Homo-oligomer: A and B are copies of this chain.
C-alpha cells in the first residue's frame, strides 16, 4: 500500500516548515520532498493542510473515558474512595472495551496516533488497538490493594506481554505496570523488575505525583520515590514515569543516569491540584519529557493539543520566563519525545525511514489566520477540532474528518449503554 500526501505544509525535524510531498510505502515514510514520480495507490491532497507527526499520549487510562464527568471538583481521597473506586469495581470486560473504544474515537479525531495505557483487563484494550488501527503501549495496572490482588494482576501482565507484545502488525508493545510505590511494596517491585528484565520489557509507573506521596515514601522507606526505584531495580529497566511532579535535584540526576523518561500530565496535575512538575529543569538536564492526558476522570478529555498548549503556557508562568518551553519544544514533547518516552525508537518525526504516523491539520479557519508562523498557530491558536486526516503505520484512520476504521455512532451508543449500567444505583 502506497500513499502520497501531496503539497502539504510539512513540519520538518528541525522545526522548519516546507510545502512539499510525503511518500508513504507500507508502514514507513519513503520520502519527504518532491515525489511527483511516486506511484501511489492513494493520493491525499495536502493543500492548505499542516502535516505534523501524530501525537503520542504517553500516559492515559483509556477505558476510564466511560467515567468522564462522573465526579469532579472534589478532594482526591473523597473522589477516589467515594466515587471512582466504587464505580470502577462495577466495570466488566465489556465496559473496558467500549470505554477504550470511546477513547479511540476521541484520540483519532484529535490527532493522537499512539497511546500508552495502564489499566485492568488490558487484552480488551489491545483489541481496541487492533480494531481501531491505533498504536498502543499497554501495561496491566498492578495494584496491591486486595490480598493477592497484585499477584493476579502480575500474572495477567506477564500473559499480556506473552500474548500481545508485538501484536497488531507490531503496533502493540507491552510494558509492566506496577501502579506506584505507594500501592506496590519494595519487595514486590523487585519481583516486577526481575520479570521485566527477564523479558527485556520496560516499566510504566506513576511516580511522585503528590507531595503527600513523597512525604510518605520518605517516612516509610527513607527514600524519595525515584531513589526507591533505583534500590528496587526498577530503574534498571527502561522506565516511563508518569507525573514526576515533586522531584529533588538528586532525583533528576538519577533519572538522567538511568535514562528514565517522564510523562508530564499538565492538565491532570492542574485539575487535581497535584503541583507543577519542574519541566524546564528536566528538559535542561536532558531527561526525555513527554506529555500525557492521564484518564478523563482527571482531565477531562484526551486532547493532546491541549496538553501541548498547557505545557507551553504553564511553565512560562511558573518560572516567570516567557522563553520557557517554546512552541516547538512543546510540539516535540507531544511527538518526538513522546515516541522516545514510550520506547518506540523509529517514530515521532516526519522523515524518511520513520514509521508513517502523520496528522494533517486543516488551516482554513479563522484561528489559523494570518499565517506568520505555523508552529505558533498550532500550539497557541489552533483547535484539535481542526484535525482533518490521520494516518498510523501508513494506513489512513481518518480522512476529511471521517473515521475509516470505527463506527462512531455505534461506539458512542455502546459507551452510553455501558456508562448507564455501571452508574445505575
Which A residues lie at the B interface, using CB under 8 A?
66-76, 79, 102, 105-106, 109, 211, 267, 269-276, 296, 299-301, 303, 310, 312-314, 316-317, 319-324, 326-327, 365-367, 369-374, 376-377, 380-386, 408, 411-412, 415-416, 419-420, 423
Contact = CB atoms under 8 A, between A and B. Distances in A.
A416 to B, nearest CB: 5
Q: Chain A: interface secondary structure?
A: helix
Contact of A371 (B69, B106, B373): B69
A380 B273 contact: no
Given A69-B373, A366-B105, A322 B271 contact: yes
A162 to B, nearest CB: 32
B419 A322 contact: no
Contacts of A381: 68-69, 296, 299-301
B69 A377 contact: yes
Nearest to A319: B273
A411 B66 CA distance: 41
A310 to B, nearest CB: 8
A211 B320 CA distance: 10
A67 B79 CA distance: 44
Contacts of A314: 270, 314, 317
A290 to B, nearest CB: 19
Given A271-B380, A317-B274, A323 B73 contact: yes
Given A73-B326, A369-B412, A370-B68, A275 B102 contact: no
Q: Pick from A314, A316, A380, A408 the residue with the most CB of B within 10 Å.
A: A380
27 contacts: A66-B370, A67-B372, A69-B374, A69-B376, A69-B377, A70-B372, A73-B322, A73-B376, A74-B322, A74-B323, A106-B366, A271-B322, A273-B321, A273-B322, A273-B324, A274-B317, A275-B317, A276-B317, A296-B381, A300-B376, A300-B381, A301-B367, A301-B382, A310-B313, A366-B408, A370-B423, A385-B386
